[in-house]
Amino acid sequence: MTGSPLVMGVLNVTPDSFSDGGRFSVGDAGIARGRELVAHGADIVDVGGESTRPGATPVALEEEQRRALPVIRALSADGIQTSVDTLHAETAQLAVAAGARFINDVSGGTHDPAMLEAAAWASAEHGARFVIGHWRGVPDPGHQRSDYTDVVAEVRAALADQAEAALSAGVDRSHIVLDPGLGFDKTGEQCWRLLAHLDALTSLGYPVLIGASRKRMLAEALASPMGANRSTTPEQRDLATSVVTALAARAGAWGVRVHDVAGSVEALAVTRAWSREESGVARRDGSRHHTGLRDAAPSDAARPDAEPGAADGSADRIVLTGLEVYAHHGVFDFEREQGQRFVVDAEVSVDLRAAAAGDALERTVHYGELAEAIIAAVERDPVDLIETVAERVAEVALGFAGVRGARVTVHKPDAPIAATFSDVSVTVVRP
């Protein structure tokens, strides 16, 4: 596990969603739900104004935009990272102009010929990321297009081709995210095979988003002889979704797209605790641990005369210091009301050899994006303690692809202390 995946909370503002029955499509319900998802721990809120479930009826662009744009605008104004779930270039552009930081296209730019150009504009002008999903067309409930010879190899090749098309259109490489499109023209068995071979997708060098939440593949697994042998409603698949989240984290996923944010956040907390102990045992006795994914290569770091981490790149660091953020954290009411200045120092450990060898931005951490992510994390909902803020920032830093550890210091130079002082700070170190 190279870092904790980001949690993308699903917000369908459609009346025909398969998972929530249109509960958030009326009035300000969608805005309230987006804020609730963030309170539960979502890093990103993915807003969709048109359903892409099998058999869904397409809607006019004006209607999709009427549903989604006000929600994106309001949540973005709150400092919440938003994504627009759309097939349409016009909607994507308007959403990014309204504050969205991600375009999540389940067709990967193949449905609307103008989408790649829109994604390139969003990347260049707003630093927005483009999530390239895999599909073979409008979802087909009969699986007439699920005739893969080797689903892993074919999905990998298709995503690689579409990523190259996005690059050629002008999308920055560091702004591309891949999604294998679980459930889109893929049987349940094919979806599980993709998850079991996630390393084939991550090896393309792009972050990978996993969206298995509440999907039929989970119901089929639970109804199998080895499962619970019962039929389920979409909401009854949340526990199974959280299990996928934990396993995806272990397999190197960059993010998970889920409806039940709280469950996945808890699953990731347990996964991090498990991984920290594995790392701790390895440091104490020099042993190697099999995680079921990939075994660590032998390292000279265990030798007394070796520079720690030098052999495997683990001594490499990117350091961002003195990042100022104005936020409303504190125990006292006046701190919450008036706000104050916080200063963040963040250091991430990441193997920089590949980036340096190829002068390749995509093989390192984009420090501008890191700064933006930290600012968004600090500006989120108020808390009492800077300890909590530091932990939040560390989790965000660990969510970047390739990050192995983070050291975060949060300074509170204007803290209400009845004495002369220059600074107070808290530092957390997370592997």
Question: What positions carry a catalytic annotation?
Answer: 215, 257
Q: Which helix (H) or strand (E) holds 257?
A: strand 255-258
Phi, psi of 164 (to 5 degrees): -65, -35
All residues at 6 or more sequence positions from 331 whose CB lies less than 8 Å from its CB, including other chains: 384, 385
Amino acid residing at 343? V
* Beta bridge pairs of residue 130: 103, 176
β pairing state of 340-349 and 317-327: antiparallel
Q: CA end-to-end span of the chain, whole Å?
A: 10
- Distance from C-alpha of 412 to C-alpha of 424, rounded to nearest angstrom: 5
Please say whether the dihedral angle defined by the alpha carbons of residues 409, 410, 411 and 416, taken in this order, is positive or negative. negative
- 212: closest CA among 177, 260, 144? 260
- 204: closest CA among 261, 128, 290, 132? 132
- Distance from C-alpha of 309 to C-alpha of 408, rounded to nearest angstrom: 20
Amino acid residing at 44? I
- 427: closest CA among 308, 373, 347, 366? 347
Structure tokens at 33: 């739900």
- Distance from C-alpha of 429 to C-alpha of 227, rounded to nearest angstrom: 39
Please say whether the dihedral angle defined by the alpha carbons of residues 87, 91, 96 and 101, taken in this order, is positive or negative. negative
- Distance from C-alpha of 133 to C-alpha of 420, rounded to nearest angstrom: 55
Tell me if 180 sits within 8 A of 152, measured CB to CB.
no
The count of residues in the chain is 431
Task: Provide the 8-state DSSP code for 56.
Answer: P
* Beta bridge pairs of residue 325: 342
HSE, CB side, 13 Å, CA atoms: give it for residue 54.
Answer: 17
Tell me if 81 sits within 8 A of 38, measured CB to CB.
no
Q: Which helix (H) or strand (E) holds 189?
A: helix 188-196
